[in-house]
Structure 1
Amino acid sequence: MNKSADYYDLDEFKSFRIDTFSPMHCALDVLGEGSRQKSFAIIWLKDGNGTHDLDLKRHYYDGSVMFVLAPGQIHKLNQFSESEGYVVRFSPAVFQHEQDFMNHVLDTCLFDSNTSCPVIQLDENSKAIFDNLFKQLHEEFLIQDINASEIICSYLKIVISQINRIKRKKSSDQVPINDASYKLFRALKIAIEKNYKEEHSVQFYADLLNVQPRALNAATRKYAERSTGELIQERLLLEAQRILFHEDKRVKEICYELGFDDPAYFTRFFKKHTGLAPQFYKEQVEVAI
């Protein structure tokens, strides 16, 4: 795949990188503390405790935990006690075949910032499994020997599959993967992620997926307890919040970037959902977190 080069901005390490945490080396600089995530990322802290702010929401952790991040997310890690662990960052280009990226990243919704588990707790058995996998990944990354890229990709797919397995086990109601409405829900989430800046209407997504709007709403209410329109609005709002918090752009610029035609309408939309006008949002949030 070659679609990732510009969007994911990974020139400094191309398509894959893995770094370690240790008492002597804290990889917060690698994470880009308080910054906007430029790649997909998996963070594993073997122990310790602290907070991790994800998209301006604070999450507490204790023990062995895993975090998964998507491009564009704002995050800040604060360790109350230092931990060993790993930070994996990758772009879609690490997968040799686009279908592998679809199967392991997009289609699983694991990295979906709206529906993913913010903190994935690991038991002792899972710690042992991931310890071996991450060690192998790190060794291959450092060696860069022949066929290293294929081996790295294989280990990465296993890591992602193991995280998905834990996520499914911890879910209170197991999602029927082969259920038609769940497949439709996942397809809609992917479609929104690809098109939300240009397309805001439910009808567009219904036409794209060859279903009626009521079928989309039935799927989203079943698996997200929200309407399709609300999912689209939430994605737009999340991106607006991210841009306002991290970038120095005028409200008018953000309005047009997100596909709104009228800055006044965008301001009303933002204030309706946050209680704050866009120009005051960053100041208020910085005080709160």
Structure 2
Amino acid sequence: MLREFSYKQFGNIEFSKEATEETALASIAEHIKILFIPRKATIQVDFQEFTMETDTLLFINPQVIIKPCETVNGQLIYFNRDFYCIEIHDQEVACDGILYSNVFEIPFIKLDEIQSGNIQSIIQEINTEMTNDDSSTEEMLRILLKVIILKSTRIWKQQHQLSENSQHADVQFLRKFSKLVEQNFKTHHTVADYAEMLFITPKNLSKKIGLISKRTPNDIIKERIILESKRLLAHTKMTVKEIAFILNYEDDAYFIRFFTKYAGLSPMSFRKQF
């Protein structure tokens, strides 16, 4: 189902291998998404396959490529920036909040039985509200969407031991680093680059990132570059030389060695595989 309010769009579809055609996903590729995935379901996210141990939420920005594998009764909520993002100023529930702008990990939110029941109740309210047609429908849908993001942000912080008020600054720092990497990975490749943007030393940057991730800032930056390389190889017809140039590698031979080292196979082998 899709509801449109002028330029604002909000919709939801069943997410399953049988019900979700690739053409349907392609039609909402530029939308921001929230995916409810039942326990034991299997999905593919950016070339990796995952099987859910629990009912799970996944927050997906437009760059992420998803595909149902063995998924039944999943729910996919999608919306454009006009519907939600441009009116939100609270950093934690914005479209560039830690759930959406997260270079540390794929932001799966594992839900226990009570949390899953709460989220499914909100999704059911959304489904019911989608059939209404009065002046309050748009705002009700926006409120329900925000509640899901708020509850999920709270769960994420609890799962990462960052839920105390005293740790608010740490969460905002991680969010800022994540956002900087997402905005600059094509042109800035070193830890020193990001430490300078954040006005701290590379050593302190590594220490702060260690609060949440076992990977170093250098690993995170390099993995983001590799992920973008994979997306371009799999979903465009650009040459390896063109991809290297876009990612600010003037020497395409160096880029090929870099990709092969981190991805485990050459760019052309990866393209053939996917």
TM-score w.r.t. length of structure 2: 0.81
Specify the SS of the correspondent of 2:102: coil
1:190 matches 2:179: yes
Counterpart in the other structure of 2:257: 268
Q: Does 1:163 align with 2:155?
A: no
- Is 1:18 equivalent to 2:11 in the alignment? yes
1:241 aligned partner, one-letter code: K
Check the 8 A contact 1:16/1:91 in 2, yes or no: yes
The answer to whether structure 1 residue 53 and structure 2 residue 44 are counterparts is yes
Matched-pair contact (CA < 8 Å) for 2:260–2:267: yes
Alignment match, 1:201: 190
Shift of 1:216: 1.3
Q: Matches of residues 197-236 of structure 1 in structure 2 within 5 Å?
A: 197-236=186-225
Q: Which residue of 81, 94, 97 maps to 2:87?
A: 97
| 5+ long unaligned stretches in structure 1 | 1-10
Distance in 2 (CA, whole Å) between partners of 1:176 and 1:37 is 36
Would the alpha carbon gap of residues 54 and 36 (structure 1) be closer, same or farther in structure 2, given more than 3 Å must change?
farther
Match of 1:42 among 29, 34, 45: 34
Task: Say whether residues 1:135 and 2:124 are aligned partners.
Answer: yes
Q: Which amino acid aligns with 2:69?
A: N
Q: Which moved more, 1:51-60 or 1:159-168?
A: 159-168
Which amino acid is 2:46 matched to? D
Q: String of CA shifts for 1:129-175, please: whole Å, max 9, x gaps.
A: 2233223323444445324333322211111112223334444x445
Matched residues in 1 for 2:262 and 2:139: separation? 45
> Does residue 1:86 correspond to 2:79, yes or no?
no
**Equivalent AA in structure 2 for residue 264 of structure 1:** A
Secondary structure of 1:273's aligned partner? helix
Residues 1:108 and 2:66 aligned together: no
* 1:68 CA drift (Å): 2.4
Report the CA distance between 1:88 and its aligned residue.
Answer: 0.6
State the match for 1:283 in structure 2: 272
Seen in structure 2, the aligned counterparts of structure 1 residues 226 and 66 have a Cα distance that, compared at 3 Å, is: closer
CA change 1:58–1:14 in 2 (3 A) is farther
Asked if structure 2 preserves the Cα contact closer than 8 Å seen for 1:16 and 1:88, the reply is no
The two structures, once aligned, show a CA RMSD in angstroms of 3.2
Residue identity matched to 1:40: I
Q: Aligned residues, how many?
A: 267
Q: Following TM superposition, by how much is the alpha carbon of 1:29 offset from its aligned partner in structure 2, in angstroms? A: 4.6
Q: Structure 2, unaligned stretches of length 5 or more?
A: none
Q: Which amino acid aligns with 1:58?
A: E
> 1:67 and 2:55 equivalent?
no
The CA distance in 1 between the partners of 2:191 and 2:247, in whole Å, is 16
Alpha carbons of structure 1 residues 235 and 176: separation in structure 2 relative to 1, 3 Å: farther
> Is 1:76 the counterpart of 2:67 in the alignment?
yes
